[in-house]
Amino acid sequence: MSSVPSHARIFRDGVWHNNAGLVQLLGLCPLLAVSNTVVNALGLGLATMLVLVTTNTIVSTTRAALRPEIRIPVFVLVIASSVTAVELVMNAFFHDLYRTLGIFIPLIVTNCAIIGRAEAFASRQDPGRSALDGLATGLGFAAVLVVLGAMREALGQGTLFANMGLLLGPTGRHLELTLIPNYPGFLLAVLPPGAFLGLGLLVALKNHLENRRARPVSQAAATPAAGRSPA
Amino acid sequence: MKAELRPAAALTLFALGAAALLAVTWHFTAGRIAEQERQAAQRALFEIVPPESHDNDMLDDTITVRAPEFLGTKKPVTVYRARRDGEPYAVVMPVVAPNGYSGPIHLLVGILAGGRLAGVRVVSHQETPGLGDKIESSKTDWILQFAGLSLDNPPQGEWAVREDGGAFDSFTGATVTPRAVVGAIRNALIYFRDHEKALFATTPQRPDNS
């Protein structure tokens, strides 16, 4: 517990500097598999965020009892039961979305970003900061999912927010946009390679933005992006 | 307490806590999940046999049959039955097309009393997106063409895709998927023709579906 990061710093790191999807490249399996439409991406992103906030809070609250030898089993237990609880709630309240996402909800368990944050952050910081860290990391992950989902949906199907009713109920149906009527579809964007290419482009874009921002200020002080955790 | 027992005790407490969390969540969601599943099943049935066409509850009027060579699965199949004024109106059968391009294709096949198709829908599949997934009613109208057809129209011998000398179009770049679906529907129709009476039979004095 050498340094206590400020709330703003936690938020910026989670969402941008140390983004789970773009910088740490964690949780790629769901990121690539479910980012084929905006609604799928948003659904899984929100579920992951909920799990991150829950697990970070629980781990942080109980960190006094977390002796080193039982640390990992406890993380696994906490994460697995949180995911199962979220899965039950989604099944009850967003039944159709639950069926669309299928196996990828239980697979949130295997998202290394979650155990990574529990180990690297929540087991060392107070519950408030840990919950915020979970929220920020989840938000960053969800944002990447949604942007990738929008890219793939627009390119692959020529629509945006299709089937939004799965998540938002009847109001969501009005959000549905057909960008290009009678779009023949672009298979590459729909299939997994499209996800890899899209993610690669997003990583490149982020690096480009960072480089451009870093250069004019001072070329001498090449400050690397704040603490990239190895996770 | 012995020092080495302390981690074990802590782990036990964590396990109990996790179990409690799951028990509470389950308690508050189980009823709603059952209701949601029932509604989802009902919506799927109503797509094929509209609610105004019959007056019984199809989800409660079922019969379990087993016919691997016609229905595509070795497992028992639950057939839903629609009746109007007590007379047989239609059945909806879950059918498996085992020979899809990438695994089995699960269908719901609705057949009206007499042997005409009420409609067919794809429940789940792993066919290639953009090619084989055109069998979904949300993607193209292909699956809708079957409503109204029977083993006489087209004749039984023409229940195949055009590539095999049949009457049904397949998709550009995907022949295997439509072939599997057409074959599964044909088999379901044959099974219905040979067992129509038994499928609608109400087992006398069966107390309740337990």
For B90-131, what is each residue's pLDDT tens digit? 999 999 999 999 899 999 999 999 999 999 999 888 888 778
Task: Answer with the residue of higher pLDDT: A230 or B49.
Answer: B49
Task: Answer with the residue of higher pLDDT: B206 or A24.
Answer: A24
Pairwise CB contact (< 8 Å): A70 & B129: no
Q: Where are the domains of chain A?
A: 7-217
CA distance A167 to chain B (A): 15
Task: Please check whether residue B201 touches A, CB under 8 A.
Answer: no
> Which chain A residues touch B15 with a CB distance below 8 Å?
77
* ipTM, 2 dp: 0.74
pLDDT at site B111 = 95
What's the length of chain A?
A: 231
Residue of A36, A63, A91 to mutate when probing chain B, most B C-beta within 10 A: A91
| Summary mean pLDDT of chain B | 89
Task: Please check whether residue B15 touches A, CB under 8 A.
Answer: yes
- With beta carbons less than 8 A apart as the criterion, state whether B96 and B105 touch: yes
> Which chain B residues touch A62 with a CB distance below 8 Å?
14
pLDDT at site B210 = 38
> Which chain A residues touch B10 with a CB distance below 8 Å?
65-67, 70, 74
> Which chain B residues touch A67 with a CB distance below 8 Å?
6-7, 10
Structure tokens at B5: 């027992």
Residue showing tokens 């982020």: A206
pLDDT at B209 over 50: no
SS3 assignment, position B208: coil
Pairwise CB contact (< 8 Å): A70 & B32: no
- pLDDT-derived band at B203, boundaries 50, 70, 90: low
B7, B21, B33 member nearest A92 (Cβ): B33
> Which chain A residues touch B134 with a CB distance below 8 Å?
none
Task: Please spell the DSSP secondary structure of chain A, one letter per residue.
Answer: ------HHHHHHIIIIIT-TTTTS---HHHHHHHTTSHHHHHHHHHHHHHHHHHHHHHHHHTGGG--GGGHHHHHHHHHHHHHHHHHHHHHHHSHHHHHHHGGGTGGGGG-HHHHHHIIIIITTS-HHHHHHHHHHHHHHHHHHHHHHHHHHHHHHHSEESTTTHHHHGGGGGGG-EESSTT----HHHHSHHHHHHHHHHHHHHHHHHHHHHHHHH-SS--PPPS-----
> Which chain B residues touch A193 with a CB distance below 8 Å?
none
CA distances (Å), origin B81, targets B39, B61, B151, B207 = 17, 6, 20, 18
Running along chain A, 231 residues long, what does each successive block of 10 average in pLDDT? 78 86 81 86 92 94 86 92 94 87 86 89 91 93 92 86 75 75 78 88 90 67 47 42
Residues B123-172 have pLDDT tens digits of 888 888 778 888 988 888 999 999 999 999 899 999 999 999 999 998 88
Pairwise CB contact (< 8 Å): A88 & B10: no
Cα A207 off chain centre by: 18
pTM (two decimals): 0.76
Q: Which residues of B107-137 are buried (b: 16+ CB within 10 A; e: fewer)?
A: bbbbbbbebbbbbbbbeebebbbbbbbbbbe
pLDDT at B85 over 80: yes
Pairwise CB contact (< 8 Å): A95 & B14: no
A67, A92, A191 member nearest B36 (Cβ): A92
pLDDT at site A228 = 47
Residues B15-48 have pLDDT tens digits of 999 999 999 999 999 999 999 888 888 888 898 9
SS3 assignment, position B65: strand
Task: Answer with the residue of higher pLDDT: B185 or A221.
Answer: B185
